[in-house]
Amino acid sequence: MKARLLDRFCGAGGAAAGYARAGFVVVGVDIAPQPHYPFEFVQGDALDEDFIATLGPFDAQHASPPCQDHTRGGSHPVHGTGWMLAATRARLEASGTAWVIENVPGAPMRADYKLCGCMFGLALPGVGQLVRERWFETSWHGFEMRPPCQHSGPAISVVGHGTTSYAREKLGRNPTAAEYRQLMGIDWTSRDELSHAIPPAYTEHIGRQLLTVLEAAA
């Protein structure tokens, strides 16, 4: 029987797709409707443990609490959700399951894994390599010897609703939404959803190691 994974703050399912490819049955939870989520989805508060308990037992959990307060520049207003990362960790530690927390560089967390698009060959001819570093903290204090992030050619980020000035200068144009989807390895989301998503390649990699942890525990 496949291991069952709870995907908290699931969004449109970029992380979920990676875990499914690794071999998990995934159930997503988010406070907002997620009509494009590609697996079982239940709308609700991802930090409400009474609600979470109604979803049944899980072998492992992933959480991507809001990152805006960890990425904002000094001129941007406070989003007001920064406290959720520590609150999420506390709930996962109390759950008794193996877990993963994902967030952006600079977030107040232990970065067991630092993953970026260049590490998985996420690139598109004529556009460039995907620049999208994400940090992962794990219940098993994961560790691996991996070369650091390195972009030898044009590097493209997927942010907000538009295109960075760097991308326009390098390409002489704005990448299309279809090109952004190809770079991310995600073809089922809107452009707005894509800007918040995790490339499935990242969580497929993490998920395979998580399965090893679960097998060892069993």
**Beta strands 113-115; 134-138: pairing state:** antiparallel
Domains of the chain, residue spans = 4-217
Is pLDDT of 74 > 50? no
Q: pLDDT for 168-193, tens place per residue?
A: 666 667 788 898 899 999 999 998 89
Report, as an integer, the average pLDDT of 73-84: 65
The angle subtended at Cα 187 by Cα 20 and Cα 191, nearest 5°, is 120
Is the overall model pTM greater than 0.85, yes or no?
A: yes
Tell the CATH topology of 4-217.
Rossmann fold (3.40.50)
158 burial type by CB count under 10 A (0-12 exposed, 13-18 middle, 19+ buried): buried
Is the separation of the CB atoms in 92 and 61 below 8 Å? yes
Backbone angles phi, psi at 3, to 5 degrees: -70, 145
Lowest mean pLDDT among 72-86, 104-118, 137-151: 72-86
Residue 128: the pLDDT is 84
